[in-house]
Amino acid sequence: MNAIEKLTEIFGKFPGIGSRQAKRFVYFLLTKDRLFLENLSKNLLSLKKNIKVCGFCHRFYQSEISRSNLCRICSDKNREVETLMVVEKDADLENVERTGVYNGRYFVLGGVVPILEKNPEKLVRVNELLSLIESEMKNNGLNEVILATGVNPEGDNTRSFLMTLLKKSKEKKLKLSTLGRGLSTGTELEYSDAETLKSALENRH
């Protein structure tokens, strides 16, 4: 395998990137000078150096000088601690955050549960979620969990899996809600605009 093929294979593993697009990236890089490529490799190599995983929401964040193991959102005292929004991935959280329509806290599942999956707990952070909910209800008065997964077959499956699981747990006082009709079929949180998210949140049920 030559260098072009090798790099094409790597880019082909990126989410949403097919082999044709992967090849375009490679040819794009071939048109760039040495400085551009060096800068790219340098940034790739340092990407994980200053990145931590938040101890509460599990998203990736740039660790600052502080020793805290919490991201900026989770260490913010002004966030409402009664509501927890469960999202599939970091990009969803970032988009909801960008729209500014939500002031509670988040939990990043780290994926979806495919239909007929036998071991969901191996794919998403189910156990972490359950213990977080339990301790937050006890210590911070958490009373609502918003299951904000995508409106597509895998997102639906993930939502109903979590719903069943959380209903089964002894936490009867917990309100479970899902985003309302504002979100149309095929919607991913990552790409929703502020208006859509706002109405989906207001209409949650």
List interacting residues with Zn ion (CB under 5 A). Answer: 54, 56-57, 71, 74
User: How far apart are CB 84 and Zn ion at their closest, in Å?
Assistant: 11
Shortest approach of Zn ion to residue 155 CB, angstroms? 22
Which of 74/151 has CB closer to Zn ion?
Answer: 74
| Closer residue to Zn ion, CB minimum distance, 54 or 133 | 54
Residues 103 and 23: their CA atoms lie apart, in Å, by 41
CB–CB of 24/38 below 8 Å?
Answer: no
Q: How far is the CB of 156 from Zn ion (least distance, A)?
A: 26
Integer Cα distance of 88 and 90 in angstroms? 7
Q: How many helices (H) and strands (E) does the chain have?
A: 8, 6
Residue 142 CB partners (closer than 8 Å, separation 6+): 81, 82, 83, 84, 133, 136, 174
Angle at CA of residue 99, ends 94 and 105, nearest 5°: 55
**Over the range 64-96, which residues count as b (16 or more CB within 10 Å of their CB) and which as e?**
eeeeeeebebbeeeeeeeebbbbbbbbbbbebb
By beta-carbon proximity to Zn ion, the closer residue of 56 and 161 is 56
Q: In the bound complex, what is the minimum distance in angstroms from residue 77's beta carbon to Zn ion?
A: 13
Nearer to Zn ion, 71 or 148 (CB): 71
Residue 70 CB, nearest distance to Zn ion (Å)? 6
Q: Which is nearer to Zn ion, 129 or 183 (CB)?
A: 129
